[in-house]
Amino acid sequence: MVAADGRVLPEDGDLPIGVGRRITAAVMFIDICGFSGRPASTLAEQEQLLRVLSFLFTELIRIIEDYGGTVEKNTGDGLMAYFPVDSTFTHHQSHRACAAAMTIFYTAANLLNPVIARSNIVPLNFRICVDHGWITVANVGAAKRFRSFVAIGTTANIACKLLKLAKADQILIGANVLAGLPENWRSQLCKIVPDSTGFVYTATQLPYFAYHFQGAWEGLRDDR
């Protein structure tokens, strides 16, 4: 695969299969906690679960896109998205990703879960993990059949691996995310996670730590 440095996402059809564009982005993974334990044996249970997921993902995707993010894929019980450099927005990619995560939690707690609960369905809990760095957005698949854009790189791997450290209703961020956050967010809202991520900095071999981002909206507002 060939990858060239760039600053913007490729348009559909812009990259041939096997070619990628290398960009900096904040990569986000959203995971529904306890999803495998939800009833899904009967047709009625499966249909109910599909309705809940459709209701949920419609809103989550809208929030991610509102903050300049791109949803790469639906993982069945979650989403993967990335927030690239975008001249439309004044805030850093990491800032926008964390703001989107807070908006997702606020929306789920105040708008989505109350509707789900009124339908006699157990409300949904999430965990969200974000890392920032270089990724390669590539066009993969088979010519004239199936193809799609994917985000590849250590940043995406770390964001996914952080899920194993995150608990329900938590936002975990990699150390690289800190640099893109406002100073008051770094000092007041970020608490280091003592457990190692298992990753190390290449140059120093020192451990790469994660942080519990403790921000939460008191009310919805435009903070893009």
How is the chain split into domains, by residue range?
Answer: 2-171
Burial of 33 (0-12, 13-18, 19+ CB in 10 A): middle
Q: What is the pLDDT of residues 15-49, one digit of tens each?
A: 454 567 888 999 999 999 988 888 788 998 889 88
Q: pLDDT value at position 151?
A: 82
Q: pLDDT value at position 148?
A: 59
Q: Which residues of the chain fall below pLDDT 50?
A: 1-4, 7-9, 15, 17, 145-147, 220-224
Provide the 8-state DSSP code for 180.
T
Alpha-carbon distance values, 129 to 35, 167, 210 (Å): 17, 10, 9
Q: pLDDT value at position 13?
A: 53
Q: pLDDT value at position 140?
A: 64
pTM above 0.85, yes or no: no
Nearest to 82 by CA among 1, 10, 13, 143: 10
Helices and strands: H and E segment counts in the chain: 6, 9
End-to-end CA distance of the chain: 34
Question: What letters, b where the CB count within 10 A reaches 16 and e where it falls short, cover 135-171?
Answer: bbbbbbeeeeeebebbbbbbbbebbbbbbebbeeebb
Max Cα distance, the chain (Å): 54
Nearest to 25 by CA among 81, 93, 96, 95: 93
Nearest to 164 by CA among 208, 122, 206, 196: 196
2-171, what's its fold?
Alpha-Beta Plaits (3.30.70)
**Alpha-carbon radius of gyration of the chain:** 18
CB 79 within 8 A of CB 60: yes
